[in-house]
Amino acid sequence: MVDLLVRPGGVRGKVHGITPESAGWGHVGFSLYRLVAGDRADGGMEPQVAGREAILVVVEGRVALHGAGRDWGEMGARMDVFERLAPHCLYLPDCRDWRAEALTDCTLAVCSAPGRGGHPAARIGPEGIALTPRGKGTNTRYVNNIAMEDRDVADSLLVTEVFTPAGHWSSYPSHRHDEDDFPRMTLLEESYYMRLNPAQGFGIQRIYTEDGSLDETLAVRNHDVTLVPRGHHPCGAPYGYEMYYLNVMAGPLRKWRFQNDPDHDWIARRDA
């Protein structure tokens, strides 16, 4: 089975390069670039696969971006992701058609999935992205919806950010979206790019199915990526450490429909 926990391959340059082939699925790709001022990166560093769209997310720092034959200028506002400012993002119909120059130390994510040429290149955010609370009590977390289905900005990609306070849970109650049965449920692969504050911290993610055929508990560290091919996938942030993650989802249908684990659905009903 594919390892569901992917550690970064270094601290500078392209540190993640997850493809559908390496993940053992059919849709989601995720790359991450950690750059210092003056470093450059471009779509030629991505797998040469035609027909894939991308959303570039400036996780932190400032970068000059070119893509789809245009100069998009300087993008990025937050110097530290935990400032919780709305991100600057760029949608591109071709995941290879970009180049970037870091203007400061920066972290740039490339989220990709199959495209159909149905959307033009466009900025996404920071306008229109509002940090929104979700949940109650120690299930409270804060969400920046970058490109969920209420924004018609992509053919396949669904992308969001989540900030989980220390001692809290998120992606909880446990839920899954692993059946192609709309409107009851949609089949969506999902990746998580993880950050911890302070950086030496750790978080917990459990990925499991109701029948027990998959049941893994992962200790995640700063800059790790986790893969959710199926099943439920709650996350926990220990006391003293705030957790951030960037979610990328994609599947046959660009809609997010899920079902909670029946054992824990009472929590959602109580908090409704």
pLDDT in tens, 9-43: 999 999 999 999 999 999 999 999 999 999 999 99
Task: Give the per-residue pLDDT at 46.
Answer: 83
Q: Is it true that the peptide bond before 252 is cis, omega within 30 degrees of 0?
A: no
- pTM, whole model, 2 decimals? 0.97
Q: Give the closest residue to 29 by CA, choosing from 120, 124, 156.
A: 156
Per-domain boundaries in the chain: 5-118+128-271
Question: Whole-angstrom Cα distance, residue 78 to residue 64?
Answer: 15
SS3 for 6? strand
Q: Which tokens is 201 given?
A: 């911290």
Measured CA distances, 44 to 41, 106, 165, 187, 241 (Å): 8, 19, 37, 30, 36
Q: Give the closest residue to 232 by CA, choosing from 251, 259, 253.
A: 259
> For strand 5-6 and strand 225-228, is the pairing parallel, antiparallel, or unpaired?
antiparallel
CA 216, 204, 26, 23 dihedral sign is negative
Interacting residues of 5 by C-beta distance below 8 A, sequence separation 6+: 218, 220, 224, 225, 226, 227
Question: What's 61's DSSP letter?
Answer: S
The mean pLDDT values, 10 residues at a time, for the chain of 272 residues are: 93 97 97 98 84 97 97 97 98 94 98 95 96 96 97 97 98 97 98 98 98 97 98 98 98 97 93 76
**Superfamily assignment of 5-118+128-271 in CATH?**
Jelly Rolls (2.60.120.10)
Within the chain, residue ranges assigned H as helices are: 20-23, 265-271
Most distant CA atoms of the chain, gap in Å:
52
